Structure 1
Amino acid sequence: MYQNRDIIARLRERIPSFECAPGCHDCCGPVTTSSEEMSRLPVKTDAEHEAALGELSCVHLGPQGCTVYGERPLICRLFGTTPRMPCPNDRRPVEMVDPEVERQVHHYIANTRQVLV
C-alpha cells in the first residue's frame, strides 16, 4: 500500500489542473478507483451508492460540486487534461498532461484493484 501511496502522490503532482466551468459536473459520473485512493474518501452507505449510480453520478458529488475535490481519484484528475478525455465545455489546463504521465496513470489503474467509487 505504501508504494501505491507514493505512486499516487507522484502522479498527482504531474497532472495539471484547470478551472472548471461554474456549475458543470459533466465528468462526475460513476468511476472506479484503486483501493488506496478509496481509503482516503469518506465512507458512503449502500443506499447513497445506489442512488448515485441510478443517476449515473458520483456518490461524492454534492450540490456545490465535488465534495472530495482535494482527494479525488487520479481518473478524475485526468479528465480535461488529455485529448483522450476532453472537457465537454472546452476547458483545459495551459499545458496538457504529458503523454508519459497519462500512460503511467493508465498503467497504475490497469495494475491495481479497482473499486466503484
Structure 2
Amino acid sequence: MYKNRDTIARLRDNIPSFACVKGCHDCCGPVTTSSEEISRLPVKTDAEYKAALEHFNCVHLGPNGCTVYDERPLICRLFGTTPRMPCPQGRRPEQMIDIKVETEVHHFIANTRQVLV
C-alpha cells in the first residue's frame, strides 16, 4: 500500500495543472479510483451515491464545483492535460503532460483495484 501511496504522490507531482472555468463540471462524471485515493476523500452515504449517479455526476460534485479538488483522483487530474482527454472548455496547462507520465497514470489505473467515486 505504501508503494501505491508513493506512486500516487509522484504521479500527482508530474501532472500539470491549469485553472478550470469557474462552475464548470463537464468532466465530473462518476469515475473509478484506487482504494488509496478514495481513502483520502470524505465518506458518502449510499443515498448520496445514488443521487449523484442518477445525474451521471460525481458524488463529490457540489453546487460550486468539485468539493475535493485538492484530493481529486489521478483520473480527474488527467482531464485537460492531454489531447486524448481534452477539456470541453478548451482550457489546458501551458505544458501538456509528458506522454511517459500519462502512460504511467493509465498503467497505475489498469493495475490497481478501482472503486467507484
TM > 0.5: yes
**Cα distance, 1:21 vs. partner?**
1.1
Matched, 1:11 2:17: no
- For structure 1, the residue ranges without an aligned partner over 5 or more in a row are none
Matched, 1:98 2:98: yes
Indicate the percent of aligned positions where both proteins have the same amino acid. 78
CA RMSD of aligned residues (A): 0.4
- For structure 2, the residue ranges without an aligned partner over 5 or more in a row are none
> Who is 2:59 aligned against?
59
Distance 1:20 1:39 in 2: 25
**Cα distance, 1:10 vs. partner?**
0.1
> Who is 1:29 aligned against?
29
Deviation beyond 3 Å, 4+ runs, structure 1: none
Q: TM (normalized to structure 1)?
A: 0.99
> Who is 2:115 aligned against?
115
Secondary structure, counterpart of 2:33 in structure 1: strand
Q: TM (normalized to structure 2)?
A: 0.99
Secondary structure, counterpart of 2:104 in structure 1: helix
Q: How many residues align?
A: 117
